[in-house]
Amino acid sequence: MVKVTPVPAAETRATVTSDAVLDAALTLFARFGYHGTALSQIAEMLGVRTPSLYNHMRSKQELLRSIVDRTTSGVLADFQTATDGLTDPVERLRSASLVYALRHATHRREAIVVNRDTASLDEPHRTELQDRRREHEHALRQIISDGVEAGVFQVDTPALASFAIREMCVSIARWFREDGPLPPDQVAEQYSRFALRIAGCTRDSAT
């Protein structure tokens, strides 16, 4: 058999962690999409050959699943801590839309992947994910319905306002640039105000 094993010089060997793989995957999935990204690109980004990735992951699918899981959990957690203790629908909507907008300015890659490549998840995880997103959607819609009932919001169809607010925030991930003129928190603040306007908030609209 052949015995020649040329072996790269010791200093050229890279070493890599699971988190590094996940982070590189996140960047590339966000740019090219799940199906548009090859494992070889992830490996190249880390200075490693493709098969070496398998020391840090089980499969390409699992990378996507990890990204999606981690992100949707974060969204729900954000929502809980943002609305916990608040009873006024106006304050609840202000706070919920603020953290949601902020997350999409500060976690752009995650947002893009989750919103674009959900369909590439294998079952049953795709359905699980959709359920968790629906949970957030219904929670937001409930705030609006409560506000309408309390007379502080004015919308014909709460579901429409809820969709509009959510997707408006999600889209921040698509245009926001870290080196742009506005920092994330100021963008989030303005978007939070947009959210109250969409809901037809009759109070406090100048804040």
Partner DNA sequence: TTGCGATACGAATGAGCGTTAGCTAGCCTC
Partner DNA sequence: GAGGCTAGCTAACGCTCATTCGTATCGCAA
User: Would you tell me which residues interact with a copy of itself (CB under 8 A)?
Assistant: 31-36, 116-117, 119-120, 155-157, 160-161, 163-164, 166-168, 170-172, 174-175, 182, 187, 190-191, 194, 197-198, 200
Which residue among 27, 33, 56, 168 contacts DNA (CB under 7 A)?
A: 56
Q: Are 121 and 68 in contact (CB under 8 A)?
A: yes
> How many alpha carbons fall within 13 Å on the CB side of residue 19?
0
Task: In angstroms, give the least distance from the CB of 84 to a copy of itself.
Answer: 27
- Is 31 a binder of DNA (CB under 7 A)? no
d(CA 31, CA 117) in angstroms, rounded, equals 11
Q: Which is nearer to a copy of itself, 29 or 79 (CB)?
A: 29
- Is 32 a binder of DNA (CB under 7 A)? no
d(CA 24, CA 44) in angstroms, rounded, equals 10
Residue 163 interacts, among a copy of itself, DNA, none and using kind-specific CB cut-offs from 5 to 8 Å, with a copy of itself
Residue 187 interacts, among DNA, a copy of itself, none and using kind-specific CB cut-offs from 5 to 8 Å, with a copy of itself
d(CA 82, CA 86) in angstroms, rounded, equals 8
- Is 154 a binder of DNA (CB under 7 A)? no
- Reported as type and span, the H/E element at residue 51 is none
Find the helix packing angle between 60-83 and 89-106, rounded to 10°: 150
Task: In angstroms, give the least distance from the CB of 114 to a copy of itself.
Answer: 13
Q: Which is nearer to DNA, 38 or 150 (CB)?
A: 38
Q: Where are the alpha helices (DSSP H) in 107-157?
A: 108-117, 125-150
∠ at Cα 132 (127, 137), nearest 5°? 120
Find the helix packing angle between 89-106 and 158-170, rounded to 10°: 30
Q: Which is nearer to a copy of itself, 57 or 164 (CB)?
A: 164
Q: Are 98 and 45 in contact (CB under 8 A)?
A: no
Residue 142 interacts, among a copy of itself, DNA, none and using kind-specific CB cut-offs from 5 to 8 Å, with none
Q: Which residues bind DNA (CB under 7 A)?
A: 3, 5-8, 10, 13-17, 37-41, 43, 48-52, 54-56, 59-61
